Amino acid sequence: MNSDEYEQLPTSSVPAIMTAGAIAGVMEHCVMYPLDSVKTRMQSLTHMKAHDTITSTLRDMIKNEGVMRPFRGVMAVVAGAGPAHALYFGAYECSKEMIATVSDRDHLNYMLSATAATLVHDAVSNPADVVKQRLQMYNSPYRSILHCATQVYRTEGFRAFYRSYSTQL
């Protein structure tokens, strides 16, 4: 099947696409979360040795901090990923339809639609990523997702949740 034939297939409604996107996004983040925790830990300046590997870092996290440590903060990602992915797919489909009314250039339409969808997705997911990464850090001072979000807001302000927004785009 070529791309033209694919585009001619019947499409689902935008709410159905948004729901599927939310479910897929949450599942993807949950499955990959332990590796994301290891990545964050390995990128931090504390607690790492030059010879640490993914496996040794994961093993040390579980051995020293408990079997659930690689999942600490996963609910922040679930709370952010569901809406972010739903809005990504919703924004993509809606903008694709809007742009199609003024332009018949499919490639330009797809590019602009994906750009708009990414802007929306990242605006929603960035605060959850900030909380997630702070909870993943070694010796994180935060007791919970709510405690982390509240402390970040109180001590650093609202902008702290979007400090890395431009790099995420």
pLDDT higher than threshold 90 for residue 7: no
Residue 4, domain member (yes or no): no
Q: How many CB atoms lie within 10 A of CB 165?
A: 17
Residue 110 located in a structural domain: yes
pLDDT in tens, 10-46: 778 899 999 999 999 999 999 999 999 999 988 886 6
Residue 60's CATH number: 1.50.40.10
CA dist 43 and 134 (Å) reads 12
- Residue 47's pLDDT is what? 62
Please list the alpha-helical segments (H only) found in the chain. Answer: 3-7, 14-43, 54-65, 74-100, 106-136, 145-156, 165-168
In a domain, 3, yes or no: no
What is the rounded average pLDDT of the residues 62-79? Answer: 94
User: What is the span of the domain harbouring residue 136?
Assistant: 13-168
pTM of the predicted structure, to 2 decimals: 0.82
Determine, yes or no, domain membership for 138: yes
Domain total of the chain: 1
* 1 assigned to some structural domain: no
Q: What is the mean pLDDT of residues 70-83?
A: 95
Provide the mean pLDDT of the chain: 91
Instruction: Assign 13 to helix, strand or coil.
Output: coil
- Does some domain include residue 29? yes
Structural domain contains residue 7? no
